[in-house]
Amino acid sequence: EVQLVESGGGLVQPGGSLKLSCAASGFTFSGSAMHWVRQASGKGLEWVGRIRSKANSYATAYAASVKGRFTISRDDSKNTAYLQMNSLKTEDTAVYYCTRLAYYYGSGSYSPGGMDVWGQGTTVTVSS
């Protein structure tokens, strides 16, 4: 079964740090680009950032709202992606989802195809 399981959420004070983990199973994790998406209570989905595969130099990209504070990494030997969150603000309070960007084969090449696998989410609360 294809699965993503996040962990590491919790309560942290403003200015603090937290590291989330995303354990993958059931698919070739090392070849997949992994993304983090968050959702504040009652609000919409916000893309946080992504890390590409080794074949794509583990390239990372971040939303402007978290750039310089959050870092995404991965350990392919453990089939796990991470989201290191520093200098946390109250507005970072949200459910954080780990997700995979799928690829499909068509017209002679592989193309991205949306986020087809999502974890159940882990809650991060930033409050004093």
Site residues (vs another protein, CB under 8 A): 35, 37, 44-47, 49-50, 61-64, 97, 101-102, 104, 106, 111-116, 118-121
Q: Letter for the amino acid at 123?
A: T
CB of 39 to another protein, least distance (A): 9
CB of 77 to another protein, least distance (A): 26
CB of 16 to another protein, least distance (A): 25
**Residue 107 and residue 118: Cα distance in Å, rounded?**
27
Between 46 and 76, CB nearer to another protein: 46
**Cα separations in angstroms, 20 against 55, 105, 114, 121:** 24, 32, 22, 10
Between 6 and 80, CB nearer to another protein: 6
∠ CA 62-63-66, rounded to 5°:
85
